[in-house]
């Protein structure tokens, strides 16, 4: 069961999978704005509504804006046969990302950038917590997440389906901006403190770094994920533009 708090996240859940909401909690007292809209939508959709005290909501997650949805499922992980036939697309893999704010922010960017899915390690990982759901603002309704016990093994499995794996490493001499990313790829982001674990790093086809003006600081995991995801889509757009231009000649 997923615990989805916050106005933006609940709004997207009601839009995308209302029939999978087992219960909607709304704070006691007078409802207004989006909370009133949620109440009316839940009534129309015959979703079970529970009016609860602020303290009850707080026990689930501290930042909820007066509403929490309990959701049975999320988007399904793509089937291997489907992935094998794909011509393009990218995944994001998270290796020991412990901050739920980073996980949620990555999911939000992944949604905006058309990411196929997010792989995350079970060990030392925040996973899809209520706090991450809140920050994602509905991203988890569109981007499937798979928590795995052996991330390196999963990366190897995706390589067998035609995906190229790029690990982010601030010490790598191979720059992201000079790297032609594969049309099918996985972007692996490690912990800000310790980076990628050795087995995960070893499963990567290439390690790339994001250019920056100073070596005394680094991008946080969420920002790094957004930058590389954008670069993937930028390169694909340039590739498509180049194809169209060649056809006109």
Residue 248 is assigned to a structural domain of this protein? no
From 44, 71, 98, give the residue that closes a domain. 71
What is the predicted pLDDT for the residue at 214?
Answer: 79
What average pLDDT does the chain have? 93
Domain assignment present for residue 247? The answer is: no
Q: Are residues 159 and 65 in the same domain?
A: no
Residue range 65-105, pLDDT digits in tens: 999 999 999 999 999 999 999 999 999 999 999 999 999 99
- How many Å separate Cα 118 from the centre of its chain? 5
**Average pLDDT of the residues in 10-17:** 98
- Strand-pairing partners, residue 49, are 24
The predicted-structure confidence for 167-178, as pLDDT tens digits, reads as follows 999 999 999 999
Query: Does the pLDDT at position 241 exceed 50?
Result: yes
CATH code for the domain of 19: 3.30.1330.30
**98 C-beta neighbours (distance < 10 Å), count:** 15
- Partners of residue 26 on adjacent β-strands: 51, 67
Q: What confidence tier does 243 reach under pLDDT thresholds 50, 70, 90? A: low
Full domain range(s) for residue 164: 80-242
Among 71, 90, 125, the domain-final residue is 71
Mean pLDDT, rounded, for 157-166: 98
Choosing from 52, 71, 90, the residue where a domain stops is 71
Q: Is the residue at 155 inside a domain?
A: yes
- Residues in CB range of 155: below 8 A, 6 or more apart: 93, 119, 165, 186, 188, 200, 203, 204
Confidence of residue 188 (pLDDT cuts 50, 70, 90): very high
Select the more confidently predicted residue: 238 or 13: 13
Question: What integer is the mean pLDDT of 200-204?
Answer: 97
CA distances from 234 to 5, 86, 180, 240 (A): 33, 19, 11, 10
How high is the pLDDT of residue 238? Answer: 80
Tell me: do 56 and 126 sit in the same domain. Answer: no
| 182 in the same domain as 92 | yes
Q: Is residue 65 included in any domain, yes or no?
A: yes
- Asked whether 145 and 118 are in contact (CB, 8 A), the reply is yes
**Mean local confidence (pLDDT), 7-17:** 97
pLDDT of residue 64 exceeding 80, the answer is yes
- Chain centroid, CA 25 distance in Å: 25
Q: What number is the average pLDDT over the span 129-152?
A: 97
* Residue 119 included in any domain: yes
Same domain, 213 and 235: yes
Owner of token pair 């070893």:
202
Number of domains in the chain: 2
Are 154 and 175 members of one domain? yes
Q: 101 and 66: one domain?
A: no
If asked whether residues 58 and 116 sit together in one domain, one would say no
Q: Is 101 within a domain?
A: yes
Q: How many helices (H) and strands (E) does the chain have?
A: 9, 10
Q: Is residue 229 part of a domain?
A: yes
Q: Is residue 21 part of a domain?
A: yes
Kindly state the tokens that stand for 56: 């009850």
Number of Cβ atoms within 10 Å of the Cβ of 200: 23
* Amino acid 15: pLDDT: 97
Q: 7 and 94 in one domain?
A: no
- Banded pLDDT at 249 (limits 50, 70, 90): very low
Task: Give me the pLDDT at residue 246, please.
Answer: 44
In this predicted structure, what is the pLDDT of residue 163? 98
Residues 190 and 237 in one domain: yes
Q: In this structure, what token pair is assigned to residue 70?
A: 């309990």
Q: Higher-confidence residue: 30 or 245?
A: 30
* High-pLDDT (> 90) share of the chain, %: 85
Within this chain, do residues 43 and 97 fall inside the same structural domain, yes or no? no
What does the pLDDT average to over 9-13?
A: 98
Residue 187 CA to residue 190 CA, distance in Å, equals 10
Lowest mean pLDDT among 53-57, 93-97, 120-124, 127-131: 120-124
Smallest CA-to-CA distance from 221 within 105, 122, 123, 124 is with: 105
Report phi then psi at 64, rounded to 5: -130, -15
Q: In the structure, what pLDDT confidence band is assigned to residue 218 with cuts at 50, 70 and 90?
A: confident
227 & 133 share domain: yes
Q: How high is the pLDDT of residue 245?
A: 43
pLDDT at 248: 46
- Asked if 41 and 127 sit in the same domain, the reply is no
């Amino acid at each position: 069961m997923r615990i989805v708090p916050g106005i933006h996240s609940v709004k997207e859940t009601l839009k995308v999978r209302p029939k999978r909401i087992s219960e909607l909690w709304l704070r006691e007292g007078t409802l207004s704005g989006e909370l009133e809209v949620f109440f009316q939508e839940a009534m129309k959709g015959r979703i079970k509504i529970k009016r609860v005290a602020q303290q009850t909501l707080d026990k689930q997650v501290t930042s909820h804006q007066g509403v929490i949805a309990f959701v049975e499922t999320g988007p399904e992980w793509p089937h291997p046969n489907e992935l094998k036939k794909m011509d393009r697309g990218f995944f994001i893999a998270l290796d020991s990302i412990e901050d739920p704010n980073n996980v949620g922010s990555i999911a939000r960017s992944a949604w905006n950038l058309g990411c196929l899915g997010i792989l995350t390690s079970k060990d030392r990982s925040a996973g899809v917590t209520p706090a991450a759901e809140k920050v994602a603002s509905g991203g988890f309704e569109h981007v499937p997440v798979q928590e795995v016990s052996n991330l390196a093994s999963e990366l190897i499995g995706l390589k067998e389906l035609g995906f190229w794996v790029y690990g982010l490493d601030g010490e790598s001499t191979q720059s992201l901006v000079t790297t032609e990313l594969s049309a099918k790829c996985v972007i692996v982001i490690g912990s800000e403190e310790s980076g990628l674990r050795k087995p995960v790093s070893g499963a990567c086809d290439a390690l790339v770094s994001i250019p920056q003006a100073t070596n005394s600081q680094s991008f946080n995991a969420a920002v790094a994920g957004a930058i590389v995801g954008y670069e993937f889509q930028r390169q694909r757009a340039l590739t498509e533009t180049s194809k169209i231009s060649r056809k006109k000649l």
